[in-house]
């Protein structure tokens, strides 16, 4: 159908002419894309481990780790600490509860929420998975040149902050459209 002409421009890196700077936008150098690639590769690889062992997914894993770290907290707090939407938390909690990995106890002082915590078997699973996960993260991080590691961690911190800012800015500009 559309017959698309010849290769368009010769892919020369001549800086162009039109009013705008025609930076090339190479996908493989484009930061948001690169972040997505590395995140999804790492996440997928790790999740296969706990999916194989215990049949849980990323949201359940995050709930498990958060409760393993803090011991007892509400769903809201779990969501805040693990950057998860409340529906995701709700469903992950429901599954983990069905599998008897976590328990709930109503908060007598506020019946809307309940306190979640690991059951003994949930904790056993957590203690099985945690060192495996840490080892995975360690092997991943070891790929980075030791003298780049500090800079890298700093950079990630900055990027998390900034992307949250940009996200909020865009949401704001959208509201006022």
Partner DNA sequence: AGGTTTTAGTTTCGTGTGCAACTAAGATCA
Partner DNA sequence: TGATCTTAGTTGCACACGAAACTAAAACCT
Residue 85 binds to DNA (criterion: CB under 7 A)? yes
Residue 141 binds to a second copy (criterion: CB under 8 A)? yes
Smallest separation, CB 165 to DNA (Å): 18
| Phi, psi (deg, nearest 5) at residue 73 | -165, 170
Q: Which is nearer to DNA, 68 or 74 (CB)?
A: 74
Residue 27 binds to DNA (criterion: CB under 7 A)? no
Residue 93 binds to DNA (criterion: CB under 7 A)? yes
- Beta-ladder partners of 86: none
Q: Of these partners, DNA, a second copy, none, which one is at the site of residue 43 (CB under 5 to 8 Å by kind)?
A: a second copy
Residue 13 binds to a second copy (criterion: CB under 8 A)? no
Distance CA 130, CA 68 (A): 9
What sign for the dihedral angle of Cα 73, 120, 90, 111? negative
Span 50-109, contacts to a second copy by CB under 8 A: 52, 62, 65-66, 68-74, 76-77, 81-83, 102-105
The pattern of x and - marking residues 21 through 60 that bind a second copy according to CB under 8 A reads x-xxxxxx-xxxxxxxxxxxxxxxxx-xx--x--------
Angle at 76 between CA 71 and CA 79, to 5 degrees: 80
Span 103-122, contacts to DNA by CB under 7 A: 109-114
Residues 6+ apart with CB under 8 A from 34: 28
Element (H, E) at 65: helix 58-70
Q: Of these partners, a second copy, DNA, none, which one is at the site of residue 94 (CB under 5 to 8 Å by kind)?
A: DNA
Q: Of these partners, DNA, a second copy, none, which one is at the site of residue 16 (CB under 5 to 8 Å by kind)?
A: none
Alpha-carbon distances, residue 35 vs 29, 123, 170 (angstroms):
10, 32, 19
Residue given tokens 């409760």 in the structure block: 67
């Amino acid at each position: 159908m559309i017959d698309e002409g010849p290769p368009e421009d010769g892919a020369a890196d001549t800086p162009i002419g039109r009013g705008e700077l025609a930076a090339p936008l190479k996908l493989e150098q484009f930061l948001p894309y690169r972040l997505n690639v590395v995140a999804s590769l790492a996440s997928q690889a790790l999740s296969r481990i706990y999916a194989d062992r215990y049949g849980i997914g990323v949201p359940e894993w995050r709930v498990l780790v958060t409760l393993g770290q803090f011991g007892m907290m509400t769903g809201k707090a779990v969501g805040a600490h693990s950057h998860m939407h409340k529906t995701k938390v709700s469903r992950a909690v429901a599954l983990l509860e069905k599998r008897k990995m976590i328990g709930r106890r109503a908060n007598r002082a506020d019946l809307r929420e309940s306190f979640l915590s690991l059951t003994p078997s949930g904790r056993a699973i957590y203690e099985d998975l945690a060192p495996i996960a840490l080892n995975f993260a360690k092997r991943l991080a070891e790929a980075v040149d030791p003298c780049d590691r500090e800079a890298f961690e700093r950079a990630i911190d900055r990027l998390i902050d900034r992307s949250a800012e940009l996200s909020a800015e865009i949401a704001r500009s959208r509201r006022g459209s």
